[in-house]
Structure 1
Amino acid sequence: MSTIAFIGLGIMGSPMAVNLANAGHSVSGYNRTPDRTEPLVKAGGSAADSIADAVAEADVVAIMVPDSPDVEEVLVGEDGVFDNAKPGTLIIDFSSIRPDVTARLATQATERGFALIDAPVSGGEPGAINAALSIMVGGAAEDFERAKPVLDAVGKTIVHVGPSGSGQTVKAANQLIVAANIQVLAEAIVFLEAYGVDTAAAVEVLGGGLAGSAVLNQKAQKMLDRNFDPGFRIDLHHKDLGIVTAAAREAGVVVPLGAVLAQLMASARANGDGGLDHSGLFRGVERLSGRTS
């Protein structure tokens, strides 16, 4: 069992930290909003007053924050991980950030006597709660093996996909696929409703054929119910599609559908939907169709 500092206890980080505590690890959590530590404390973990306090005795530091600047602040900022963790500490970054930033931070970590792997996750809030996340890991093979007991406590499908930054690259591809699935599912449901079809029955039969997907299973009912409480916010998916389009341009790869999806996400944010679950793209299809719920 490891002594783990968990930085970032939001929608995803909180249940992940709880699962680590339930697995028997000693977990100290830090979040900018202190009340977010309550579920971890109830699970037997502890609350830290600062990043420095959380990481001081940790063997492993786990990070789950929104974007590249946030990870940089946690690691290299004043009173951050690099200035306060013990030499040899393993840093697992579960955040979804730019691959180039991850690679640069991994180099800095090595120079400071730490090991850093990028381990972004997929599966949303249900996957985090049920410890069933898919985790794509970039970094050295020996660091991946060292991290495996921690990863096993929060994930189900855990794959080492290459050197530093590779996990983030695979996560960017994941977010492209997920966004496309959500968008076409939203379009299909608006289409079905326009014809007065029994949409619940339609979703059931579609789920049993080639159109079936994890996105359909998890997001169709939210669209039918018009319940867009966030499991993964449009704001964050907008950020991820920005990573996709920028990285694709750098690689000389054409992602025309990805570019359209990025614009649809931007439109959703401009219409005030940024805080909704990404299934809230459904509202954008309704707006474009001149239909409102």
Structure 2
Amino acid sequence: MTTYTIAFIGLGAMGGQMVRHLMAAGHRLHVYARRPEAAAPFVEQGAKGFATPAQAAADADFVVTNVTTTQDVEAVLLGADGVVHGARPGTVCVDHSTISAEATRRIAARLARQEITLVDAPVSGGPSRAADASLSIMVGAPRDVFDKVRPLLSVLGTTITHVGDVGAGQVAKACNQIVQVINIQGIAEAMLFAARNGVDQDKVIEAISKGLAGSRMLDMMGPKMAHRDFSAGIEARLHDKDFAMILDAVADAGLSLPALSLVKGQLTALMEHGWGHDDTSSLLRVLESQQKLH
């Protein structure tokens, strides 16, 4: 496999795991993080640390970003010290963040003026699947660009889908979040219903998990709720952020998605309870807090 110089921006729970896999594959890593201490472990392992995204991107073949919000992506790619001011023409930027599809297209157009190509490649699977390189990756890019970045993506994930042109990956990720979190809300309601009827929640999960109600989310979230393990797999605040963004896109499209709106309300309540850094299985606790005492 050809090895490249890759500038990686965003070294959190997901990004850090990705950097480890890329370094293990033999690529040369340039890293940038807002907190220098986040970059330090990777520098110790042989990556080069830089003070700004522009500096990290200066001699890179690819730039990879994995940050939290649309505004974060705009800042690291287009801001005063952003990638656009350092990357050379022909550089490909791969964004693994979950952000607005409309903003993605706008950022891509701005980068294109400098002959820099943007690929949106949001991921699903959370830190555990980032750790074992089994992420699902949804890609928006022209076909020839997708073919160029696929070898790198294959280092990070096992399901890599070319969804369409730039922005299509973010649309697919929004669909992923809609299905995923509405499912979690349904599991929470089922677990509360079982408990209030005096039925063992583990037995209910066992009874329904192999039928048509079975899902990966039930397998993950059902036991967490049954055993009141609300430690974060993916922090609920990230789902709240995603649902707010998706609701804006839904409104812009002139759509009404009632389940999406309802679950956003539950996520808002979750945040108000101070559970944003806990797991989204905390939707069960939100439901419990809303019940009238009989």
Superposition TM-score, scaled by structure 1 size: 0.93
CA distance in 2 between partners of 1:39 and 1:218 (Å): 31
Once the two structures are overlaid, the 10-residue window that deviates more, 3-12 or 23-32, is 23-32
CA distance in 1 between partners of 2:147 and 2:12 (Å): 27
Tell me which of 126, 130, 135 is aligned to 1:128: 130
Tell me which of 168, 171, 188 is aligned to 2:170: 168
SS where residue 97 of structure 1 aligns? coil
Tell me which of 164, 183, 186 is aligned to 1:184: 186
Verify: 1:211 aligned to 2:213, yes or no. yes
Give aligned-pair identity as a percent.
40
CA 1:48/1:204 → structure 2, altered by over 3 Å: closer, same or farther? Answer: farther
Q: How does 1:67-216 map to 2 (within 5 A)?
A: 67-216=69-218
CA 1:43/1:231 → structure 2, altered by over 3 Å: closer, same or farther? Answer: farther
CA distance in 2 between partners of 1:217 and 1:207 (Å): 7
CA distance in 2 between partners of 1:75 and 1:224 (Å): 43
Superposition deviation, residue 240 in structure 1: 1.1
Give the aligned residue type for 2:82: G
Tell me which of 46, 49, 65 is aligned to 1:47: 49
Question: What corresponds to 1:37 in structure 2?
Answer: 39
Contact 1:268 1:274 survives alignment (8 Å): yes
Verify: 1:224 aligned to 2:226, yes or no. yes
Superposition deviation, residue 35 in structure 1: 2.5
Question: What corresponds to 1:275 in structure 2?
Answer: 277
CA distance in 1 between partners of 2:114 and 2:227 (Å): 50
Contact 1:19 1:131 survives alignment (8 Å): yes
CA distance in 2 between partners of 1:38 and 1:192 (Å): 48
Give the aligned residue type for 1:159: T
Superposition TM-score, scaled by structure 2 size: 0.93
Question: What corresponds to 2:21 in structure 1?
Answer: 19
Superposition deviation, residue 40 in structure 1: 3.5
Superposition deviation, residue 41 in structure 1: 4.4
Contact 1:18 1:39 survives alignment (8 Å): no
Task: Mark the runs of 5 or more structure 2 residues left unpaired by the alignment.
Answer: none
Tell me which of 265, 269, 286 is aligned to 1:263: 265
Q: How does 1:237-256 map to 2 (within 5 A)?
A: 237-256=239-258
Contact 1:21 1:40 survives alignment (8 Å): no
Give the aligned residue type for 2:244: G
Contact 1:52 1:84 survives alignment (8 Å): yes
Poorly superposed stretches of 4+, deviation over 4 Å:
41-44
Give the aligned residue type for 1:11: A
CA distance in 2 between partners of 1:38 and 1:67 (Å): 23
Contact 1:3 1:60 survives alignment (8 Å): yes
CA 1:201/1:47 → structure 2, altered by over 3 Å: closer, same or farther? Answer: farther
Tell me which of 8, 11, 33 is aligned to 1:9: 11
Contact 1:273 1:280 survives alignment (8 Å): yes
Contact 2:53 2:77 survives alignment (8 Å): no
